[in-house]
Amino acid sequence: MLKLISWNVNGLRACVGKGFLDFFHQQQADFFCVQETKLQPGQIKLELPGYHQYFNSAQRKGYSGTAIFTRKQPLSVTMDFGGPQHRQEGRVITLEMPSFYLVNAYVPNSQDELARLDYRMQWEDDFRQWIRALDQKKPVVYCGDLNVAHQEIDLKNPRTNRHNAGFTDQERAKMTTLLDSGFTDTFRWLHPDEIAYSWWSYRFRAREKNAGWRIDYFLVSDRLREKVRMASIHSDVLGSDHCPVSLEIDLEA
């Protein structure tokens, strides 16, 4: 049995000052995936005994970035994917384990007025091609901030947000296409009707009112879904505008 955590920390150094390490040590996860680290190489030194640490930084300072802390040493580590246009922002880390791939991603936000929607659409298509190629070799566990609320149940105010970044018809359709190509949304698989959110705006006291979005996920190859034992959203954990999500799965690393 493996335990995996994913958390968009909205700046790892800031989150460390808000209890990140307490949660990290409490969870004792086999794999702990982080998005939006906002780090350049050498800007943080974490004492995490028993864990291998892998960081992927954006070229732009204070922006994006991902990390994985793992108890199990991978067979290989791949940073980013695809062409040069997808290799500037530190958005993806892939670990090859003996029996599966673990992919940690921070999917690009379409931004205000959908300024980056065209790039997001290209990213989705290229990433799906990448992850499907991995899936042909070994099953995949894919986690991260996917920056989309897939269904109306996944956000508090679907009607007023329909054309906003993260809930456009185009982004939701790309998520549907990804799932239809052989992947399972583990939380929705186990909790088909549960309303739970993983991100809340800092504005309008959204978290206090629980006016949130579920945009952080664990997806698995369809052939792994019967091995999923638990998929949870830790909405009580503070330290970021996102909360951690977790997966327990009957796999050997």
Contact 241/199 with Cβ under 8 angstroms?
yes
Q: What residues are annotated to the active site? A: 106, 145
CA of 101: how far to CAs of 58, 73, 84, 140, in Å? 22, 13, 22, 5
Q: How far apart are CA 128 and CA 175, in angstroms?
A: 10
Q: Which two tokens stand for residue 146?
A: 């996917």
Q: Angle at which helices 169-180 and 117-135 pack, to 10 degrees?
A: 10
Closest C-alpha to 130, from 18, 122, 46, 69: 122
Contact 132/181 with Cβ under 8 angstroms?
yes
DSSP state of 100: -
Residue 35: which residues within 8 A CB-CB, separation 6 or more? 6, 7, 8, 9, 65, 66, 104, 105, 106, 144, 145
